[in-house]
Structure 1
Amino acid sequence: MFFAIGFALGINSYLVPLLNKALQISSGQSYLVIAATFSAFLIFSYPASMVIKRIGYKNTMALSFLMFALGFYLFIPSAELESLPLFLLASFISGMGNAFLQASVNPYITILGPMESAAKRMSIMGIANKLAWPISPVFLALVINKSVDDVRLTDINLPFYIIIGIFILLGVLAYFSGLPEVKAAGEDSDNVEDAPYAANKTSIFQFPHLILGSITLFLYVGAETISLGTLVDYAVSLNLPNADLYAWIAPIGMTLGYICGVILIPKYLSQSKALLISALVALAGSLLVVFTPAVISIWFVFLMALGCSLMWPALWPLAMADLGKFTKAGSSLLVTAIVGGAVIPTIYGFLKDAIGAQNAYWVAVPCFLFILYYALSGHKIRTSKV
């Protein structure tokens, strides 16, 4: 399921330069495809939590794959009609599927075992997720069997029919799987001892570490999407040969980071310390992308991605700690924050039009600075009344 999330999002890294060329639109306009995908998280995160509450985690996961299939189907008439609005609608509906899947699978993995080792479990899932990002553009390129410069929009029809079939099959497998329903400590209990910090709370907005965590997740997803989703486009803008292959730079960096997380967390490294180190590495990488010569700057996206790798695994358990009966609502708020993947890359796209692709990476710097703050002190903030 985590592989499916990455695969679906990775499709955008192929579509952005394709639409830019085929529809003769600006970079800012082509990045609206990514914005449409991630904007679905803003609208559907809360409805997803209600669906989970009604039909459970497993059935919601199965439902999400059918939503994915519908969104992918709409890419085919979008290509036939060469319609940017229809492409945006298709991306939005596939994003809706992603919102439902993320809302169910992320908290599921977080609460599946001890909270102190949640980042380790999320790191294992992250390996599957991030390796899938470059596989989707490579899959599209292999099936289409043309270079990005020679691809026509209608060439995407066959690979999308294949993808639709795979996602429907995944939905069926998820529905008939033996995944058990799980609950967080104190989620369905009024016993103060089960979740003492949440016992007297009446709203998720009384959890400052959750609110700050949501802001941090918003910025993190935006910055990570830039590192994962701009590589092919950046390589094209630098006139580098075989631009499709540069899509692997970020996922390899993230996979190495996830492997470190599996080995080091929680035995040698706490989740907060992992987030701190990750923020520093990503900040250094973003500055190197901006300041080094353009031809080699693309390779420093590797450091951005390496730093991003443990942010997601560490952020979720830190932000969801002590939520008790507010666990599903807190998860919904965090899923809403994934809309950062719509906002930050779109800003990057319009900055690219204004100041060039390399300088546009400046947008990641303040994102990583805020993440550094959350790692240092933001996650520790609690209200005095317990």
Structure 2
Amino acid sequence: MSSSTNHQKTGFAFFLIAFLFFLWGFAHNLDPILIPHLKRSFALTTTQSTLVDSSVFIAYFLMALPAGLAIKKWGYQNCIILGLLLFSVGCFLFIPAANLQSYSFFLVALFVIACGLTFLETSANPYASALGTPETSTQRLNLAQSFNGLATALAPVIGARVILTRSYSDTELSAMSESLRMQALASEASSVKLPYLILGMILLIIAIIFKLIKLPQINYKTSHHQKSQSIFHAFKHRHLTWAVVAQFFYVGAQVCIFSLFILYATQVASLPEIQAADYLGVCGIALLIGRFLGTFFMRFVAPNRLLTLYAGINVFLCLIAIMAHGLITVYAIVLICFFMSIMFPTIFALGIKNLGADTEYGSSLIIMSIVGGALLPRLFGYLSDVTGSIQVGYFVPLLSFIVIVIYGLYGYKSAPTKKDTGPTLVSFSH
């Protein structure tokens, strides 16, 4: 097979993988719409509403290691298909959850979706990183994550107009009789059925496409002395351990900011929900622009240095979100989203660098650290409920960005090894 033909097929494979980034980005960024929607429908506290995030990100912790083992046994492509199917099943579960008016059922549906996303992310992140030369792996992963940023911009705007349009104000609900109030809340809950039904059907079609095509395989060339022994062996890579910690705090910070943005904007800046959702879409646009610009800047600035700079700026912006009032706080959060843009892919790419045969385990460990998205928003919600101010919760992202500054300055460094020659693509034909 000629090198030009192989390059074209590699480019097509990268496009397909990048589209997966869009899909899970869209699913994740419907959650900030679900949180205020379910909070009102089930009369939840802020802390209780964060169970939406907990149910999603606990799945990452539980399923990431099985996903890594499955990739070793069945390969990247089969695990992508499995992830798409689980993702689809979770979407379909929204229909009985809405019919039964059960918050617990919604959480189960979100958990199943997240199990599918775990397989997708554990597969797609290292795969996108490996589709090219090792020297440009960080830029390549940032480019793929730009599709995730596009979904971050679109999902809140679309989701708000589909899910939040039937919402009733607290005044309207309090004026209703008990039976009418139950009917009104049931009507609100039913608004989630159509978008998740459509998304589930799209995912089934995409799973069939991935079954019909053939993606290039990836091998990691290592000497006979270096073998993937166990998950504990992977932890011997110091920079991987640091990446797990940094990703835990980054994802926790991101989920706090995005998932609780509408609650924050309506309370601190007095914005209506639909307008707050539009600003959340602006946050997604900022994230998207940041990823494209970050990919460009990394041609001239080392990824760890850019990561450190961006995290340091976000520490300052979090202080504004804590102490200021009005629209300036919303603008500060938009800027936080811009400077968060490169963090997940950069931490991930630096974390799996030079892992060789431990790459699948390393990928699983970093994906497991996404459990930060389950735990830190709970702390954010608790601080908000206890103090009566959602702004106080921003101390959680502030602390998280400080940890990322430390990672960018110190923790990213990997020990060079001659035994690792990086990932290689295997021919499309067998």
TM-score, normalization by structure 2: 0.82
Q: Which runs of 5+ in 2 are unaligned?
A: 1-19, 170-186, 420-430
Q: 2:207 — aligned with what? A: 171
| CA distances 1:266-325 after superposition (whole Å, capped 9, x unpaired) | x20111112112211222221221122244212211222122111122112211122111
1:110 matched to 2:146: no
Q: Secondary structure at the match of 2:300?
A: coil
Q: Specify the alignment match of 1:240 in structure 2.
A: 271
1:340 aligned onto 2:359 = no
- CA-to-aligned-CA distance 1:100-152 (integer Å, 9 cap, x gap): 10000001111222223112111211221022124223333344582544771
Kindly indicate whether residue 290 of structure 2 is the aligned counterpart of residue 257 of structure 1: yes
Written as runs of structure 1 = structure 2, the 5 A alignment for 1:47-66 is 47-66=66-85
Q: Give me the whole-angstrom Cα distance separating, in 2, the residues matched to 1:255 and 1:56.
A: 30
Counterpart of 2:25, as a letter, is G
Distance 1:177-1:142 versus aligned 2 partners, 3 A rule: farther
Please list, as runs of the form range in 1=range in 2, the aligned pairs for 1:151-230 lying within 5 A after superposition: 152-186=188-222, 189-190=223-224, 203-230=233-260
The 1:67–1:213 alpha-carbon spacing in structure 2 relative to 1, beyond 3 Å, is same
Q: Judging changes above 3 Å, is the alpha-carbon distance between structure 1 residues 344 and 102 closer, same or farther for their aligned structure 2 residues? A: same
Native 8 Å contact 1:41 1:335 kept in 2: yes
Structure 1 counterpart of 2:261: 231
Q: Name the CA distance, whole Å, in 2 between partners of 1:311 and 1:322.
A: 19
Q: Does the aligned pair in 1 maintain the 2:84–2:207 contact within 8 Å? A: yes
Alpha-carbon distance between aligned partners in 2 of 1:258 and 1:137, rounded to the nearest angstrom: 19
1: distance between equivalents of 2:164 and 2:351?
44
Alignment partners' CA distance in 1, 2:141 and 2:286: 16
The aligned counterpart of 1:9 is 28
- 1:202 and 1:34, CA in 2 relative to 1: closer, same or farther beyond 3 A? closer
Cα deviation digits, residues 65-108 of structure 1 (max 9, x gap): 11011111111211222211111111111110111100000011
Structure 1 match to 2:399: 366
Within the alignment, does 1:304 sit opposite 2:336 as a pair?
yes
Match of 1:74 among 93, 113, 116: 93
Q: Do the aligned partners of 1:254 and 1:307 also contact (CA within 8 Å) in 2? A: yes
Query: Partners of 1:75 and 1:202 in 2: how far apart?
Result: 38
Separation of aligned partners in 1, 2:32 and 2:90: 17
Match of 1:46 among 65, 72, 78: 65
Which residue does 1:291 correspond to in 2? 323
Match for residue 172 of structure 2?
none
Q: Which residue of 2 aligns with 1:126?
A: 145
How many Å separate the matches in 2 of 1:149 and 1:261? 41
Alignment match, 2:4: none
Q: Quick check: which has more Rg, 1 or 2?
A: 2
SS of residue paired to 1:203: helix
What displacement does 1:330 show? Answer: 0.9
8 Å contact from structure 2 (residues 317, 332) kept in 1:
yes
8 Å CA contact retained: 2:153, 2:288? no
Q: Secondary structure at the match of 1:206?
A: coil
In structure 2, relative to structure 1, the CA distance for the partners of 1:309 and 1:166 (3 Å cut) is same
Q: In 1, distance between residues paired with 2:221 and 2:316?
A: 38
Structure 1 runs not aligned, ≥5 long: none
The one-letter code sitting in structure 2 at the alignment partner of 1:11 is L
Residue range with higher mean Cα deviation, 272-281 or 370-379? 272-281
Q: Which residue of 2 aligns with 1:94?
A: 113
Alpha-carbon distance, 1:255 to partner: 1.4
**CA–CA distance in structure 2, aligned partners of residues 260 and 147 of structure 1:** 38
Residue 85 of structure 1 aligns with which residue? Answer: 104
Q: 1:273–1:375: 8 Å Cα contact kept in structure 2? A: yes
How far is 1:174 from its partner? 2.1
Work out the CA distance in 1 between the residues paired with 2:140 and 2:415. Answer: 25
Seq. identity, %: 30
Q: 1:286 to 1:115 in 2, by over 3 A?
A: farther
CA distance in 2, matches of 1:145, 1:325: 47
| Structure 1 Cα separation of the partners of residues 34 and 43 of structure 2 | 13
Query: How far apart are 1:383 and its partner, in Å?
Result: 10
Q: TM-score, normalised by structure 1?
A: 0.91
Q: Structure 2: which amino acid aligns with 1:361?
A: Y
Q: Distance in 2 between matches of 1:282 and 1:252?
A: 17
Taking the aligned partners of 2:139 and 2:408, their CA distance within structure 1 comes to: 17
Aligned length: 377
Name whichever of 45-54 and 285-294 sits farther off.
285-294
- Aligned mates of 1:273, 1:100 — CA distance in 2: 30
Q: State which drifts further: 287-296 or 20-29.
A: 287-296
Check the 8 A contact 2:90/2:113 in 1, yes or no. yes
